[in-house]
Amino acid sequence: MPAATSAARSLLFVAALAFLTIVSSTTAHAEDSQSLSARIAELEETLAQEDADEDQALVFEEMKYLVGFFWQEGRGLQSQAGVPDERGSEDAWILQPIAYFRFRTGKRMRHEISVPVDIVSAASTDALDIVSQASKGTQAFEINSTSTFLVSDAVDLSFKLAAHAEENFRSFRAGTNIAVKLFEENTIFGLSAMLIADGFDPITPAGRDPGFAGRTTLGVDATYSQVLSPTTLFDLTYGVSDQLGTLQTPYNSVIVRREPTEDDPRTFYRTAEVFPNNRFRSAAGARLAQHIPQTATTIKLSYRFYFDQESATAHTTELNLFQYIVPWLYVNPHGRLHHQTAPSFWVPELVDPIDPKEFHTSDSDLEAFVSREVGLRVVLLRDRAPASFRDSDSFEAGYTRYQRDNGLHVDYASLGYSRTF
């Protein structure tokens, strides 16, 4: 009995100890939970308040300033500058400062505004200067704005507005874009529409003022963007545009050969180009971007095919290379090869008599040609620079050479500065 009593007491003691341990542990856990809850609640409240403040805020995120200088030399049949029955001068220079701002009003509304200003030496080389001084020099001002509403994590809705003014030309653009992000944002479908209304007072090469003219362009673009891997991105685009109205460039002309007569010894004269008042154009493109982490290199290769109802086609291939020298400095060489055929109504010259209603142009921009472009940009990102040099801004300098086999070439140099806030 005493042994049994002793065993029972021992069992009772162990049970009591276990009970106390459990109670103590449970109480400690409850206290821990309470303490944890209090800390979590405090942190939650702090972050929620910060986010709420941010949601109300007007925040400037980035500003950029870029100055570009174009120097163009060339000869085009549409220009009557120089020897009037040969290719005329297309020489011009353009100084183009651009200011760009990005800001947000709350977390879901973002805005981008860019303001390019063109100071052009000769917008219409040797055109008649009855209402326009554009052959001597002109200035163009433009403002573009894009506001994007982040409807949800999967849908962005953008609205674009732009206005352009120069001499006797005004242009307004309004558009919208919807982007739908699927499959964890690895797939994006985009659809955009843009309406452009241009108004201008054309003067023909012969000096006639046919009165106010206008044209309207409606463009619709669809894009498909697919992340193939964390370092590979593939894009497809297809777009159509329909232009209605006065599509010719008023000061462009076409040489007309004629047999001289006793009354009129001229062997040629120039007439205004005539375009159809409706052009339907299409373009399809693909782009592959591949980043190579081991060498800090990104390659972007794109191809675009253009075709329109006037049988003009164009193939454009572009290669962009981004090579980091150090984490805060990269170079961006690029090359572009473009081949186009002329529309069915492109002619080098006409023979008198002509049908004034027949479509014809000698514009060198629409001529069949091959163009090549090579360029190099150097970009310094100070936000990735060593600590002693670091700041929230970046600098870039670039030079591009564009050369066509129909006699035109353009040199483009640019300097840029941007700052993030």
Partner 1 sequence: MLGRRSFVVSSAGLLACGGSPAQEGLAPKPEKERPVPEIYVVGLDGKSSSLADVVRGKVTLIDLWATWCAACRDTTARAVRLHGGLKDRGLLVVGVAEGEDIPTVSKHLETEAVPYPIYVDTPFALASSIGTTELPTLIIADRNGLIRKVTNQLDANIVRLLGVLLDEKP
Query: Which residues in this chain contact partner 1 in the complex, by CB under 8 A?
Result: 29, 32-33, 35-37, 39-40, 42-48, 51, 54, 61, 102, 110, 112, 146, 148, 150, 153-154, 156, 158, 177, 179, 181, 184-186, 188, 190, 227, 229-233, 289-291, 293-294, 296-298, 300, 322, 324, 327-328, 330, 379, 381, 383-384, 386-387, 390, 392, 420
Q: How far is the CB of 380 from partner 1 (least distance, A)?
A: 11
| Cβ closest to partner 1, residue 94 vs residue 233 | 233
Rounded distance between C-alpha atoms, residue 350 and residue 269, angstroms: 10
267/392 with CB nearer partner 1: 392
The CA distance from 81 to 270, in Å, is 12
In the complex with partner 1, which residue's Cβ is closer, 308 or 396? 396
Query: Minimum distance from CB of 123 to partner 1 (Å)?
Result: 30
Q: How far is the CB of 56 from partner 1 (least distance, A)?
A: 15
Q: How many CB atoms lie within 10 A of CB 140?
A: 19
Q: Which is nearer to partner 1, 96 or 223 (CB)?
A: 223
Q: Which residues have C-beta within 8 Å of that of residue 223, sequence separation ≥ 6?
A: 188, 189, 190, 191, 192, 235, 236, 237
User: Closest separation between CB of residue 330 and partner 1, Å?
Assistant: 6
Distance, CA of 406 to CA of 364 (rounded, Å): 8
CA 359 to chain centre: 32
CB of 333 to partner 1, least distance (A): 12
Please identify, using beta-carbon distances, which residue of 172 and 328 lies nearer to partner 1.
328
H helix count then E strand count, the chain: 1, 21
CB of 315 to partner 1, least distance (A): 24
- Type of residue numbered 192: S
Closest separation between CB of residue 230 and partner 1, Å? 5
The residue among 190 and 375 lying less far from partner 1, judged by its C-beta, is 190
Helix, strand, coil percentages, rounded to 5, for the chain = 15, 55, 30
Q: How many angstroms separate the CA atoms of 171 and 280, rounded?
A: 20
Q: How many C-alpha atoms does 284 have within 13 Å on its Cβ side?
A: 1
Residue 197 or residue 227: which is nearer to partner 1 going by CB? 227
Q: Please, are residues 216 and 195 in contact by the beta-carbon 8 Å criterion?
A: yes
